[in-house]
Structure 1
């Protein structure tokens, strides 16, 4: 049974992702990359806002791996975008 804090974390992340999809759809800018970046930003914000002060539960310790994978994927997206912008003869 998830604890109250875990449930609050999941609700916060779900709300952020739904708001991101809605905002991107209203702006007609919905792409997988933009949704991923906004979801990662939301994940980092919700992680910090719901962090406990004294004791860190085991499930929160595993979030660092998800954050690391998310930042790695973000780096891949940034590099791909930079390579798209650069002229063909630069690299």
Structure 2
């Protein structure tokens, strides 16, 4: 059974992502890469804002794996964007 803190964590992340979809759609810049990056930023903020003071629950010990995967995907996105900006033939 999910704890109250875990449900708060999940609700905060879902609220952040729904707000992102609404704001990005309203601004006309709803792109998957931008949504992912801003969702990752929100995920990191939710982790910090809901961090326990004394005891770390078991479910929170798995979060660094999600952070690592998110940062790897973020790195791939950054490299792809940099390669789009560079003129052709720079690496060839």
Q: Report how far residue 73 of structure 1 moved.
A: 0.1
> When the two structures are aligned, how many residues end up with a matched partner?
91
Unaligned runs of 5+ in 2: none
Q: Which residue of 1 aligns with 2:39?
A: 39
**Matches for 1:1-91 after TM superposition, within 5 Å:** 1-91=1-91
So what's the TM-score if we normalise by structure 1?
Answer: 0.98
So what's the TM-score if we normalise by structure 2?
Answer: 0.97
Structure 1 residue ranges, 4+ long, deviating more than 2 angstroms after superposition: none
Q: Deviations over 1:6-25 (max 9, x none)?
A: 00000000000000000100
What SS does the aligned partner of 2:52 have?
coil
Query: What is the rounded CA distance, in whole Å, between the counterparts of 1:40 and 1:53 in structure 2?
Result: 23
